Structure 1
Amino acid sequence: MTRTDAVPAGAHDLERRLGDPYAPANPLGFDAILAADERGEAFAEGEAALDAYGLNAEFVPHAYGGRFARVDDLVEIMRSVYRRDPALGLGYGTSSFISSVNVWAAADEEQCRTVAAHLLANRKVACAYHELAHGNDVARSDFAALPDGKDLVLNGRKEVVANIQRADALVLFARTGTGPGSRSHSQVYVDKATLPPDALRYLPRFPSLGMRGVQLGGVEFTDCRLPAANILGRPGQGLETALKSFQVTRTAVPAMMTAVLDTGLRTTLRHVRTRHLYGRTAADLPWIRSALAGAFADLLMCEAFASAGARALHLLPQQTSVYASAVKFGISQRLLDAMHQLSVVLGAHSYLRQGPNAIFQKLHRDLKPVGFGHAARAVCQVSVLPQLPLLAKRSWAAPAAADPALFRREADLPALRMDRLAVSGRGGDALVASLPTALDALPDGTDRRLHDLVAHFTTELADLTDVCAALSPAGLSFMADPAAYDLVVRYVTVLTAAACVQTWLHNADGPDAFLTDPAWLIAALHRLRAKPGAVADEAPEDVQERLMAELLDRHDHDRSFGIANRTYTTGKGRP
């Protein structure tokens, strides 16, 4: 089945409600967002608008009265928030989304309905996993919720938690057993309204360079008693639930943040088209055109990869333990690098806190957590590395065509089944296994440059297969040699290339003509071919000019720069 519109109706509705962010008279625009950021406060007007829209319903499954059905739809809706204010996206929405996914993954019916009612009433839920002493190693958490008769007794602290004080309820990752091993932790739901006044103490807020509107704080519990029924799911299931829910959130959150690059690119383009140098606009200078085309290619590449990852949660849930970490690892660095390159183009204008380009410096700061927030890139590498040998032996060595629904934007998807997500992929990787089949699937008359690039990544996959299949189990822990971690970089690069190639192949007869154009794919594969840390392999000049023409057309017709190519409310503020 296919849908008539690849973009969910909610995304169009939210765009209309939030209006043109560049328009000075818009109370929800960049001027108001920057003023709240300067004060280090949550953007109150934005939160009120999201309340009126009912954004929390996007996080609640249909079965409990909400609108959450597809991860890719949720991502597209949230991009309308993140492209304006990432702090609003995280502080209002994503923190509650991250919390609630754990509930849908493990809780019983009554618990799910309780949390759903909480969210649908525009209340917030905070997810309290981390402790400064242990960082991303949540399995070593000391926070205790130990059983005492029919109660749990909470003791300990959680730190650097978004919305810990503003949230009405918490999902706590806690030690519920004293023994070693993975069955000593559970997730506990806490409705603050049910607690005695002295049950908890808030710790001082943590100031931050970016995301200034997000309240990062901590909480300390001392001998706080809760019913044991507040454990979500079975006691001792906490780590398994976290590893499954992380697959959804590690995929979705970086995908939402691609919208930050969209606005960064849009702001830069607006500037260079009005900046005159050497008798022409800055947008006419070859190196600036190359930088803009490269950032555009990076954005399309990231969103093609993210889309495949999001759709895999529905179609290949047993394999997304690998894909989720790969999406987080691969997209985050590319977004950061692209924004940095745009800051070079903007020069001094990239750090001005007032004026028409002031939103750029905020977005540049707010984007930084994409690389370490929720789960650091290094953690993602550690989770992928041990799976490489089995992937090489079971999937990469046996090429097979992938389900077109992984890539076709209008294709329908089955319901998201959290119970089908697996802690380990067990060697399944349909996406990379599809790459060798793409060479034979290239249409007659395909640009020879594109054919050679696909062949390059097919050869890279063959070499990676041989190397990873020979890896020793002793060299796959967090103490692995740095060269082993380089294999993760190579794998994620090939995985991204496969997603881009298949997206191009499977949207050939879709409604967006540009997706059928080989130019964006040639540019994306050129950039992926560059060695890590090297200057990007720039696409041929004619390819860059095709990308620039598309970029300018989308800007002038108020279209998004990402893979959706959808209408954005951006025109009235144009200079």
Structure 2
Amino acid sequence: MSGAFARALDLDRHLGDATSTAAIIRDSDTISFDERSEFPQVAVDALNEWGLQRSYVPIEFGGEMTDVLAPMLQIRHIARRDMTVAVAHGKSFLGAVCAWVAGGTSAKHLAPIVLSGAPVSWGLTEQGRGSDILRTATHYRTDGTMRIEGGKWPINNATRGRAMCVLVRTRNEIGPRSLSLVLADKEELDPASFEYRPKVQTHGIKGADISGIDWHGTEVPADRLVGESGKGLDLVLRALQLTRPTCTALSLGGADRAVEAVLDFVTNRRLYGRRLLDLPEAATDAGAMFADALIAEATAIVGARHVANLTDEMALISALVKYVVPATVDALYRDATRFLGARSQLSGIAGAGLFEKAARDNRVVGIFDGNSVVNLHAIVNEFQSVAKGARQHPETAQLLNALDPGAPTATLDFTRLRLITRAGSSLVSAVEPLVGMLPAESPPAFNRVVKVFTSAVAVLIQDVSSIPRTAAPGAAHFDIARRLAEAFAGASCLALVLQNSSASGLANETVWATAALSRVCQRMGRPVQGAAASYAELHELALATHHRGTTVSLFDGWTA
């Protein structure tokens, strides 16, 4: 078991059995806190005592972070128990990343704050501007002193946070060099110079501190610029390359909760005098949901391995992962809601309320750190690089080792983050040679779906290469971007079939990959003959895994 998985397992054991009164995050508290929209302070404090925040700070600044896989796995464990707790604590990771990327004085000042467990937030969005951060109105004026004027809303931990990395305007014109980042440590500020906006009443993560802050000429120390003046947008775009894949840990935790609910339902439910698990239609539907959970897991973990090992590809990979993982888990929840029926909307019945809460919470992940449209647009911007990369031939053995979740990883070098990749995704470009490495004696159903997937990727690359470049992409561009994200998900599954030194028993079978690639091909517009049989077979394998007391996962040591 790799260090990241071992550390996550330590956290899981520390959290305890969620059904026990001795657990740190108890199922009963998860429901009651949500009903009261109450902030889970006791759970957050307990995570600080364990030292979760050390995984948010790079080694060079006194923490334990070498890449994002370790904090991802830890946040996933928390999210499967209560996504509100994960969002409340994990925001400090997101809020601090710009400082790590910039380095210098701001990073040195922020590191001990994060390590102390004090919350840190990220002040990007403003009321009425949505995702258009280029039109940020909050400004930073220098008239002998450095002052922030304006407001940020809605912001996670805006009220509870001790510090905030605030995106501000330092030039009047709209342009890429008009914005800067300022570290506002509230312990250094005059409390009379800023005020909070009320907590937003949200549909999901109801207990989280989603609020806002208004700065009224708030004076900050002169050395609190994060990086250079005018480099704010640049820093944000680079930081998003780390925060976007990390956010998918929330989706994975949500998927764990949904899979558990479906497995319990098919095991215990009887219909028409028969067990639900014995009905062919139910087995097919459940298997398709399990396939979606495994697609999300494969894509998120392979994406995380890119961060330190293929850092210069993260401008594209982060957008691919952030689009496809939440979208896949959203589909899983839609299907699970129909499958569970009325039970999906009820509380107080054998954990049904936990599913209902998780379904609400899960919907917010897709809008964190760039919504689906923003990420698809980022993918469109990479079409030229993807086309260029498709003409190259990656070294497959080296690539597989870099993406193997159980293999040693390089230490993340923030200076290797780029705003545009040179050659797209090595993994997508390597689909054909990776297929050539598969064993010739693979099962016929697996060979059939691989053939369909390879053909779909070839057509996709032709579409990427031929579509005209434009400053205003249309529906065709976004459809290609969506298929490219699905192709990356399928390629991630192939990579783990070929090399996964942390493989679970389930991952050692091709059953999961057959079902997963069938789902991917369907979403790429190439449905696979016999897909239903592969879903039913995965359902049987998942049930056997569940009955052995182990988790439906591709990785040994992962427990849910």
TM-score range normalised by the length of the shorter chain: over 0.9
Quote the residue 1:550 is aligned against: 541
Letter in 1 for 2:506: F
Give the direction of change, closer, same or farther, for the CA distance of 1:139–1:501 in structure 2 (3 Å limit): same
Matches within 5 A, 1:168-317: 168-317=162-311
Matches within 5 A, 1:86-97: 86-93=83-90, 95-97=91-93
Normalising by the residue count of structure 2, what TM-score does the alignment of the two structures yield? 0.95
C-alpha separation in 2, matches of 1:329 and 1:413: 25
Give the direction of change, closer, same or farther, for the CA distance of 1:531–1:233 in structure 2 (3 Å limit): closer
C-alpha separation in 2, matches of 1:397 and 1:455: 20
SS at match of 1:131: coil
Q: CA deviation at 1:435?
A: 0.2
Contact 2:55–2:70 (CA<8 Å) still a contact in 1? Answer: no
2:379 equivalent to 1:384: yes
Equivalent position to 1:498, from 479, 483, 491: 491
Deviations 1:339-385 (A, max 9, x none): 11111111111011222221000000000012212210000011111
SS at match of 1:183: coil
Quote the residue 1:12 is aligned against: 9
2:316 equivalent to 1:322: yes
C-alpha separation in 2, matches of 1:505 and 1:407: 11
Deviation larger for 485-494 or 173-182: 173-182
Contact 2:5–2:70 (CA<8 Å) still a contact in 1? Answer: yes
Matches within 5 A, 1:342-421: 342-356=336-350, 357-392=352-387, 394-402=388-396, 403-421=399-417
Count of matched residue positions in the alignment of Structure 1 and Structure 2: 557
Quote the residue 2:477 is aligned against: 484
Equivalent position to 1:455, from 440, 451, 476: 451
Give the direction of change, closer, same or farther, for the CA distance of 1:560–1:259 in structure 2 (3 Å limit): farther
Q: CA deviation at 1:313?
A: 1.2
Letter in 2 for 1:193: E
SS at match of 2:127: coil
Contact 1:389–1:470 (CA<8 Å) still a contact in 2? Answer: no
Q: CA deviation at 1:73?
A: 1.9
2:41 equivalent to 1:49: no
SS at match of 2:451: helix
C-alpha separation in 2, matches of 1:272 and 1:439: 35
Letter in 1 for 2:553: G
SS at match of 1:257: helix
Give the direction of change, closer, same or farther, for the CA distance of 1:557–1:75 in structure 2 (3 Å limit): farther
Quote the residue 1:432 is aligned against: 428
Quote the residue 1:63 is aligned against: 60
Give the direction of change, closer, same or farther, for the CA distance of 1:130–1:268 in structure 2 (3 Å limit): same
Contact 1:308–1:406 (CA<8 Å) still a contact in 2? Answer: no
Q: CA deviation at 1:556?
A: 3.2
2:28 equivalent to 1:31: yes
C-alpha separation in 2, matches of 1:481 and 1:75: 34
Contact 1:527–1:537 (CA<8 Å) still a contact in 2? Answer: no
Matches within 5 A, 1:64-83: 64-83=61-80
SS at match of 1:424: coil
Quote the residue 2:120 is aligned against: 125
Letter in 2 for 1:544: Y
Give the direction of change, closer, same or farther, for the CA distance of 1:532–1:451 in structure 2 (3 Å limit): closer
SS at match of 1:382: helix
Normalising by the residue count of structure 1, what TM-score does the alignment of the two structures yield? 0.92
Letter in 2 for 1:421: L
Q: CA deviation at 1:495?
A: 1.5
2:102 equivalent to 1:106: yes
Contact 1:293–1:548 (CA<8 Å) still a contact in 2? Answer: yes
Give the direction of change, closer, same or farther, for the CA distance of 1:127–1:26 in structure 2 (3 Å limit): same
SS at match of 2:191: coil
C-alpha separation in 2, matches of 1:24 and 1:549: 33
Equivalent position to 1:21, from 18, 21, 45: 18
Q: CA deviation at 1:216?
A: 0.9
Q: CA deviation at 1:7?
A: 4.5
Deviation larger for 554-563 or 36-45: 554-563
Structure 2: runs of 5+ lacking an equivalent:
none
Give the direction of change, closer, same or farther, for the CA distance of 1:511–1:365 in structure 2 (3 Å limit): closer
Deviations 1:260-318 (A, max 9, x none): 11111102221332222222222222222222211111111111111221111111111
Q: CA deviation at 1:11?
A: 0.9
Letter in 1 for 2:481: V
C-alpha separation in 1, matches of 2:115 and 2:187: 17
C-alpha separation in 2, matches of 1:40 and 1:256: 19
Q: CA deviation at 1:449?
A: 2.5
Quote the residue 1:467 is aligned against: 463
Contact 1:314–1:413 (CA<8 Å) still a contact in 2? Answer: yes
Give the direction of change, closer, same or farther, for the CA distance of 1:565–1:550 in structure 2 (3 Å limit): farther
C-alpha separation in 2, matches of 1:346 and 1:501: 31
Deviations 1:165-213 (A, max 9, x none): 0011111011122233211111100111111121101112211000101
Contact 2:53–2:114 (CA<8 Å) still a contact in 1? Answer: yes
Give the direction of change, closer, same or farther, for the CA distance of 1:343–1:97 in structure 2 (3 Å limit): same
Structure 1: runs of 5+ lacking an equivalent:
571-575
Letter in 2 for 1:500: C
Contact 1:161–1:218 (CA<8 Å) still a contact in 2? Answer: yes
Deviation larger for 139-148 or 361-370: 139-148
How high is the sequence identity, in percent, across the aligned residues?
25
- Aligned-pair RMSD on alpha carbons? 2.0
